[in-house]
Structure 1
Amino acid sequence: MKQITSRLLKSLIITAILLLTLTNNNLLSANGTDTTGQPVTSHELIVVKDKSFVNLLIKFISNKYPDLKLDYIKEIGVIQIEHPQEEVLENASKYIHKKFKRFIVQESEVINPLDLDAVLAAQFATNAESNGMPNFQNDPNVYSYWQWGVNYVTENKKSYSITKGSHDVSVAILDSGIDLNHPDLADNIISPGQSFVPGELTAMDYNGHGTKVAGIIAANGNLTGIGPEIGIVPYKVFSREGGRAFWMIQAMVKAANDGHEVLNISSGIYQTYSEKSGGAVVEAFQRAIDYTNNKGSVIVNSAGNEGVDIDQIIPTGEDGGGVIRLPSVFSKVITVGASTLERMPAPYSNYGEKVDFYAPGGSYGPIAHEDEFDFSFLLLTTYPTYLEQSTIAQLISLPKGYDLDIGTSLATPAVSATYALVIHKLKENKLNKAPEEISSMLREMATQLSVNDPAGRTVGMVNAFKALQYVENESMPLK
């Protein structure tokens, strides 16, 4: 193990680590200012009780408030209204809700996906201060050294002997886009996808996050993903500046309509929720999830990187209120936490009953002493070839097109890829299993972590090899 001990680099590394952490907290805006570089506008969601009423309501709003910008998803009865002036939007919203009270879902009518009587979760403090310097392995094959996560899930790529996936089963990646020309990804991108971010016409990735996610699923070059022949398609729902709940919901419906078996969402929203606010966003997500599930698609979502229990309302410190994480908390969503090189729940990973699986997400490793920090605990994945790499990647001279990172964002695609592989193998073997049956089997086949989560729960790390082996021979007893 080669050590870097120069204290001149210490502040640079600490800064890089902090920036690296921030890249994994891709939160979308449920309401508030537009963060895409477009003119700042206030926006709000309206959810109708009967989808057949959408056209009439759109016509009314257009005639009554011609200055409002309208967007809508007819399939699930969701309308977004926008205006640069918050007061104008608020007055219009109040009038619309009052006039069509019987036809519009009211905040008080929305069922909280969590238990409203639950005690507010205490913040789980996990971030130990690190003033240390990193170590890294002086390994000539940097591509294989940091692929421990893929090796854990595939059992050192033994799953490849059963299947590497197929373009017949695809994963929609709802994220910041993908580097469509990346040499490790291009062969598996079966469609250029679509952008839902205003002003960004293509699904090319100018953030980097989506390309990192894609590499865990389907890299097939210098790096190999969990399923190096799985088909992937990008749906851009946020940019470098952020995103909106509405864009994600639009993409969920579109991806389901496009027939993708798996939807990977490595981001989320912390939505303020009470009887007076947040209900429309919650209801819109619920409808999108139901619609997607009815189309036969599985939604896989990251649990988040705040180290909190997402089973409960997460306190914000504002008037005793709190937030819930969407869409993770919905029962029909597969939620993924992050595990470490030591096969433990990552200290930053959110946890709780809502977390269905853990998967390798990396960590910064144990601190040996104040002058050491171990890079080997991070994950290596693909990154846009045209974007500047992180300071850490540059420091250790990683080739362009690759970067190191951590987070539940990187754990989630490991589970998405495993679902896609299993679905492909079931089809190949002419077997038919409902998504719930597949989820149950994956839980049985998961690898037990070395310790329980902070709440004392035992949740397994997804194991693609064991799952595929079981599909190959369904007489194999569950363990």
Structure 2
Amino acid sequence: MADNTNLTRRSFLGATAASTVAMVGAASAAPGGGNGTDRREYIVGVSATEDDPKGYVKQHLKGNEDATKANDTLNSVVVGLPENAADPAHENFRDRLESADAVKYVEENAELQAQVAPNDPRYDDQYADQQVNAPDAWDVTFGDTSVTIGVVDQGIKYDHPDLDGNMDGSVSNYGRDFVDNDSDPYPDALSDEYHGTHVGGIAAAEIDNSEGVTGIGNSSVLSGRALSEGGSGSTSDIADAVTWAADQGADVINLSLGGGGYTDTMKNAVSYAADNGSLVVAAAGNDGQGSVSYPAAYSECLAVSALDPDETLASYSNYGSEIELAAPGTNVLSTWTDDGYDSISGTSMATPVVAGVAGLALAQYDLTNAELRDHLKATAVDVGLSADQQGSGRVDAGNAVTTEPGSGDGGGGGGGGDGSTSTTVTDSLSGYWDSNCWSYGFEYSSPSKVVVELDGPSDADFDLYANTGVDACPTTSDYDYRSWTTDSQETITIDSPDASTDLHALVDSYSGSGEYTLTITEYE
């Protein structure tokens, strides 16, 4: 690791950082916090300086407001209000909670949807695994069940004859149900709840077992049921499933879902997963527009667009600057809840193709999630689309398994150079009024990526902000990038940063004091 001569402290006194995210309108029905459709739900994020977030929130509730559940990892609490409560009651609730010292944000517990598009006429057999050259990878490895793919989706029919051998047996019933809050993620209604089974089969239906179809690789599948039989799920349930999958040691987490806007809760969940070693792969969305849906749009997620069989962008697939990889998504044949097989289309189908290739790469190479992400991009194949449509290119299993990471001998899809440089500095903040601003001079003329990491005290709540392309320190209200979890572990990842000026990073105390370490890693 380099010394800290490339980081320069700027004299800077931050504001108190007491402002919070503006509240968006609540959904018209409860998304799934366990109280039925007679409640409207919000998620309250509480600073890590409070060791009992649910108890803290309860102190600020009145009348029929009810704290229903908490995620202690994210320090978030779901609060239900009566569905028929008048608007002033909701405004009073928001104002009251947002003014509490330890509350960082209040936001709706919005619903997200499975990212599946209407089905076109099915193909007679599979094509997706051949299109990504999985047979070339299988000449080396069929995969390894020690590699775990967490599928946060509808429940998976884990006794399907083409899946039962590749389910993760380290957890009872191969997962957890966050919709019904129990230990069995089996689908509630097999005729309706097929999406999770289909997604799981694309990534990891058993290979070389004389049964049905092949998945991309023989990874183990961990089922986090966060979407109901209706295909939707609440922000809190999905965030709970993501953090749980990370805690179970999932190497890859597949999110074939989306449709909600930016939320701090989901951002914190995918940040937690990435910080704990999981590669989070997410569907770009099926609106056919130049805007990538959340959670795929978070920098912590590897966003995937969908291709037709001829490797053109599928008409339904979203696209945009956040896209990192493309994969076949139209008429993908996979496992179904009748113990048979069927074909459906969507960015939901493209995403587990990438997750499956990631699992094959991990069966062959020992890689961190950041190294795996770079390797998949470096070995992708350019199919002639714009970067907004394909990112680095179409994912390629053969290249990912047969190319030594960092060798530069991939498929030519692009992924930056092989060099990196890291700079670190240690300092401290005295209290909620204190901030430090640091400037960093880029080493490379055109860096492919820069990662800014903050490691702060466990009994405080520090936040991280960054600016690129402008010669000014960010503030807590004016910034290009922010990592704002409820603790002091923050990460900002910037792809293709503007190196025309120094990068500026602000470390701000939301609450508490202590020593922190700031690390900036730049990739060629």
Select which of 190, 203, 211 maps to 2:197. Answer: 211
Residues 1:171 and 2:149 aligned together = yes
Q: Is residue 238 of structure 1 aligned with residue 237 of structure 2?
A: no
Q: Secondary structure at the match of 2:337?
A: coil
Question: Are residue 439 (structure 1) and residue 369 (structure 2) matched?
Answer: no
How big is each residue's C-alpha offset from its partner over 1:113-145, in whole Å with a ceiling of 9 and x where there is no partner?
Answer: xxxxxxxxxxxxxx9x99xxx8777xxxxxxx4
State the match for 1:148 in structure 2: 127
CA distance in 1, matches of 2:370, 2:309: 29
| Structure holding more helix per residue | 1
Q: Equivalent pairs: percent with the same residue?
A: 23
Amino acid at match of 2:274: N
Aligned counterpart in structure 1 of residue 239 of structure 2, from 226, 232, 249: 249
2:141 maps to a residue whose letter is: T
**Aligned 1:46-445 pairs, distance under 5 A:** 46-48=44-46, 50-53=47-50, 55=52, 58-59=55-56, 61=58, 64-65=61-62, 67=64, 68-87=66-85, 90=90, 93-94=93-94, 96-100=96-100, 102-106=101-105, 145-155=124-134, 157-191=135-169, 192-198=174-180, 202-205=184-187, 206=189, 207-220=193-206, 221-227=211-217, 229-241=218-230, 242-271=232-261, 282-310=263-291, 325-362=293-330, 378-385=331-338, 401-427=340-366, 433-445=367-379
**In structure 2, how many angstroms separate the alpha carbons of the residues matched to 1:435 and 1:340?**
28
Q: Which consecutive residues of structure 1, in runs of 5 or more, have no partner in the other structure?
A: 1-28, 109-126, 138-144, 272-280, 312-324, 363-377, 386-399, 428-432
Q: 1:51·1:75 contact (CA, 8 Å) conserved in 2?
A: no
Is 1:467 matched with 2:400?
yes
Matched residues in 1 for 2:296 and 2:315: separation?
Answer: 18
Contact 1:31 1:244 in 2 (8 A): no
State the SS of the aligned residue for 2:168. Answer: coil
| Shift, 1:434, TM fit | 3.4
Per-residue deviation, residues 269-325 of structure 1 (Å, max 9, x unmatched): 322xxxxxxxxx6211221122111110110000011111125xxxxxxxxxxxxx3
Give secondary structure in 1 for the equivalent of 2:73. Answer: helix
Q: Secondary structure at the match of 1:357?
A: strand
Residues of 2 paired with 1:457 and 1:190: CA distance?
A: 31
Question: Which has a greater percent of strand?
Answer: 2
Conserved in 2, the CA contact under 8 Å of 1:47 and 1:105? yes
Q: CA deviation at 1:438?
A: 2.4
Q: Aligned partners of 1:456 and 1:420: how far apart in 2?
A: 24
- Does 1 or 2 have the higher relative contact order (CA < 8 Å, sep 6+)? 1
Count of matched residue pairs: 361
How far is the alpha carbon of 1:379 from its aligned partner? 1.9
Distance 1:213 1:456, change over 3 A: closer
Residues 204 and 216, structure 2, Cα contact 8 Å, conserved in 1:
yes
**C-alpha separation in 2, matches of 1:288 and 1:135:** 37
Q: Could you tell me how far 1:152 is from its partner in structure 2?
A: 1.1
Q: Is the Cα contact below 8 Å between 1:30 and 1:244 reproduced in 2?
A: no
Structure 1 181/136 Cα, relative in aligned 2: closer, same or farther at 3 Å?
closer
Change (3 A) 1:226 1:58: same
Residues 360-386 of structure 1: per-residue CA shift (max 9 Å, x gap): 001xxxxxxxxxxxxxxx22111102x
CA contact (8 A) 1:153 1:226 kept: no
After alignment, is 32-41 or 216-225 more displaced? 32-41
1:22-37 pair list within 5 angstroms: 31-34=27-30
Is this contact kept in 1: 2:42–2:78, CA < 8 A?
yes
Secondary structure of the residue aligned to 1:461 is coil
TM-score (norm: length of structure 1)? 0.69
- Does structure 1 retain, via aligned residues, the 8 Å contact 2:54–2:69? no
Does the residue aligned with 1:52 lie in a helix, a strand or coil? coil
Q: In structure 1, what is the Cα distance between the partners aligned to 2:106 and 2:148?
A: 36
How far is the alpha carbon of 1:79 from its aligned partner?
1.2
Distance 1:93 1:235 in 2: 32
| Separation (CA, whole Å) in 2 of partners of 1:309 and 1:345 | 12
Change (3 A) 1:460 1:478: closer
Asked whether the equivalents of residues 326 and 389 of structure 2 are also in contact (C-alpha less than 8 Å), the reply is no
Q: How big is the shift at 1:448?
A: 1.7
Aligned to 2:52, the other structure's residue is in SS state helix
Report how far residue 177 of structure 1 moved.
Answer: 1.0
For the residue of structure 1 that corresponds to 2:49, the secondary structure is helix
Amino acid across the alignment from 1:418: V
Aligned residue number for residue 43 of structure 1: 41
Q: Retained in 1: the 8 A contact 2:42–2:106? A: no
**Pairwise CA distance, 1:31:** 3.9
